[in-house]
Structure 1
Amino acid sequence: MNREIFCKRINTLKTVLKNDDEGLFITNQKNIGYLCGFFNSEGVMLVTTEKTFLFVDFRYIEAAKKKSSCCEVICFSKLGADLLKILKESSVNKLYFEASNITVARFNSFKSLFNENKIECDSSSILDKVICNLRIIKDGTEIDKIQKAQQITEKAYNEVLNYLKAGVREKEIAARLEFLMKMNGAEDISFDLITITGKKTSLPHGVPSDDIVKAGDFFTFDIGAVFEGYHSDTTRTVAIGYATDEMQEIYSIVLKAQLAALEKIRSGVLCSEVDKTARDIIENAGYGKYFGHSTGHGVGLDIHEAPNVSPKSDFTLEKGMIITDEPGIYLQEKFGVRIEDMVCVTEKGCKNFVSLPKELIIL
């Protein structure tokens, strides 16, 4: 990625700093990677008005120097002591922490050390909000990576459909999907893949087991791949052998809600309005109490990030946001249906990353 992009991100982050004696302390590894391009370091980042420092231990120093941009890489031996040295050299008297990431124990440990050296520690949400506002809008390079992650996911999905039939185990489908994704370029799966069948499809986050696929079952795929740190997220529900009239009716209601929400998405629209569009259709069909989760969420370096697309969301959609559209109906002890696309918000609508068909497939 272009070095200028990382420098721009760090400079935008520095708007938190109101005085030359203030600094920013980043411990979230996703945020560190977003700001400098180096992920998985188990290190920390210090941003001052003049310089940015990435602290890593011996295991990561060579990789960090090759992959990071716009920061000075420091190999620490004792993190606290090495941090204090730079803080004093930079005349930092106040340090902002990410409140949403650091544990209470770790924050208190740093706070005790820094306060002893007359450095104030701020654990309010100021820094978190600025980072969230940075990450919530994806640039072209991020969008390309998310699209690639989706393409990997779809290739694996289309291939695994050839193996899905009565008699196979849920775990077998999950294992094949993960293998195919990684063989096709994924560095990881986005989350523990959801490949469930029968009555378990009424569980929004059901876990694959040794349960056997049977004729007349729904089968739910909630799947995604990671490419260069960025996630994809897609859900499809298919039927095995045949689908009853009730199954087809529920599927058509969910699809209608999903398509309506998709049409609602554009820059300037409240996320709560997108959620309401899908929810109203399901409620008017008499199944409102069977749709208990939000209509969508943001996707990027994390599988769930801002903005949330829920009834209480106060986010307004903006160009460059990546969100999911995933209404569902879950009938306990019977079956469930969820259909999910991942889209990029545009000024007049959205770009759908997902090319998979949405009409009910009966295998």
Structure 2
Amino acid sequence: MLPEDLTRVRARMREAGIDALVLRPSPDFRYLGGRGEGFLVLTLEAGPAETGDPAALVPAGARRVGVDPEMRVRELFGLMIDAELVPAAAVLAPMRLRKHPHELTAIERAAAAAEAVLEQARQLDWFGATERAMALRLRRLLLESGCEEVLSLRVAAGEHTALAAHSPSERVINPGDALLVSLCGQWDGYCAEVGRVFAVAEPPEDFEAMYSVVQSAHHAALGRIRHGVAAAEVAATVREVIDGSGYGRFAAEHAGRGVGLGPDEGPRLDPRAEGDLESGMTVCLEPAIYVPDLFGARIADVVACTPSGPLLLTSGPPELRILDR
């Protein structure tokens, strides 16, 4: 954390009437420099400091203490702090939205590692393998690439591609299946997800047409990402393209979300989202269509917002790729 950021955190604490922050290991914890497994305490005069006994570092007479939103109930009761406990996110979440150059570098490394593994995936033997077996192979490849942790991994074949949330199963992957694969890894504490669409041997009927709609929605939304544009406007652009194709009722509810120290943070690319995009924000742009019981297509790429437009940290959506083995 940069010294000027610490000054800004304390200024926001004063504005919110918060006397101290108490965090457990989480994105907020890492943002303030936490490295261990205990608690991190930041006050208006001291810290940040890691400790196993946060109550000992909270100033006597503190009236409001910001706590980590990921803190467990037993941890909250165990704090033994005689003060009003409020979410620390009100202070830290807005600050984490805009990334410094070193943060963008780490996010780009995580995205590059995930995309490289998806390129390697084209050389693997998919015919006759199960979703779970291929997910394990991809997990191993991502860890071997240098990522610290695999935060999520999706392999969905055939009808499972129509499920917005699907965990790899024992379903066998067969020729003629649509295939969705996405990887979210962590590099130097920062996260990035990349998702790609494949067809096994040959695409199902009408699948290429649907994929081209998702691809067009991705391109259209990418052209809207820049400083000062409303996040809701980017989501609306995706929806307009998909609605115009006739697939509107099958579109995913949102078009993307922020990535950084966490895999799912602000800003949200949602029609109901409030606020504008700002330089330094990074999002996972992920337009998708899910047709129940048939197939789905989702493309995920990491994009940084700049004053002049989008900075794509991955290569962008390719043409539909056919797996021949």
Normalising by structure 1, we get a TM-score of: 0.83
* Runs of 5+ unmatched residues, structure 1: 57-75
Task: Tell me which residue corresponds to 1:185.
Answer: 146
Quote the offset at 1:104 in angstroms: 4.4
Partner of 1:292: 252
Please give the alpha-carbon distance, in whole angstroms, between the structure 1 residues aligned to 2:180 and 2:18. Answer: 54
Segments of 5+ residues of structure 2 without an aligned counterpart are none
How far apart are the structure 1 equivalents of 2:281 and 2:230? 13
> Are 1:23 and 2:23 matched, yes or no?
no
Paired position in structure 2 for 1:121: 84
**How far apart, CA to CA, are the structure 1 residues paired with 2:255 and 2:47?**
39
Counterpart CA distance in 2 for 1:358 and 1:205 is: 23
Deviations 1:30-88 (A, max 9, x none): 2122112x33x2322222222114233xxxxxxxxxxxxxxxxxxx4xx26xx23x44x
Q: Report 1:170-181 matches (<5 A).
A: 170-181=131-142
C-alpha change, 1:147 and 1:52, in structure 2 (3 Å) is same
CA distance in 2, matches of 1:274, 1:19: 31
Partners in 2 of 1:141 and 1:287 — Cα distance?
40
**Equivalents in 2 of 1:292, 1:359: separation in Å?**
21
Q: CA deviation at 1:356?
A: 5.5
The structure showing larger relative contact order (alpha-carbon pairs under 8 Å, at least 6 residues apart) is: 2
Alignment of 1:61-76 (within 5 A): 76=52
Identical counterparts, % of pairs: 26
What secondary structure, in the 3-state scheme, does the structure 2 residue paired with 1:248 have? helix
The residue that corresponds to 1:342 in the other structure is: 302
**CA displacement at 1:245 relative to structure 2:** 4.5
Q: C-alpha distance in 2, partners of 1:169/1:310?
A: 34
Q: CA deviation at 1:18?
A: 5.7
* C-alpha spacing 1:298/1:256, structure 2 compared with 1 (3 Å): same
Residue equivalent to 1:138: 99
Q: Tell me what 2:221 maps to.
A: 261
Post-superposition Cα deviations, 1:259-305, rounded to whole Å, max 9, x if no partner, equal: 10111111101111000000111112121111132100000111100
Question: What is the aligned counterpart of 1:251 among 205, 211, 214?
Answer: 211
What count of residue pairs does the alignment treat as equivalent?
Answer: 322
Aligned equivalent of 2:109: 148
Q: Which residue of 2 aligns with 1:59?
A: none
Q: Given the alignment, which residue of 40, 44, 51 partners 1:45?
A: 40
| 1:102 is aligned to 2:71 | yes
Give the letter aligned to residue 7 of structure 1: P
CA distance in 2, matches of 1:256, 1:29: 36
Q: 1:354 to 1:164 in 2, by over 3 A?
A: farther
Contact 2:252 2:287 in 1 (8 A): no
- In the alignment, what sits opposite 1:236? 196
**Structure 2 residue aligned with 1:312:** 272
Q: Judging changes above 3 Å, is the alpha-carbon distance between structure 1 residues 356 and 268 closer, same or farther for their aligned structure 2 residues? A: closer
More helix by share: 1
Give 1:154 deviation, angstroms: 1.8
Shift of 1:105: 4.6
Query: Which residue in the other structure is 1:169 paired with?
Result: 130
Specify whether residues 240 and 92 from structure 1 end up closer, same or farther in structure 2 by C-alpha distance, changes over 3 A only.
same
For residues 329 and 164 of structure 1, the distance between their equivalents in structure 2, rounded to whole angstroms, comes to 27
* Residue in 2 that maps onto 1:355: 315
Q: Cα gap change, 1:99/1:150 in structure 2, threshold over 3 Å: closer, same or farther?
A: closer
Give the residue type in structure 2 aligned to 1:45. Answer: L
Amino acid at match of 2:9: L
Max Rg structure: 1
CA RMSD between the two structures: 2.1
SS of structure 1 residue aligned to 2:140: helix
Distance 1:262 1:357, change over 3 A: closer
Counterpart in 2 of 1:34? 31
Structure 2 residue matching 1:141: 3-state secondary structure? helix
Three-state SS of the structure 1 residue aligned to 2:142 is helix
Secondary structure, aligned partner of 1:212: coil
Do the aligned residues in 2 keep the contact of 1:29 with 1:42 (CA within 8 Å)?
Answer: no
Q: Counting strand residues as a fraction of each chain, which structure ranks higher?
A: 2
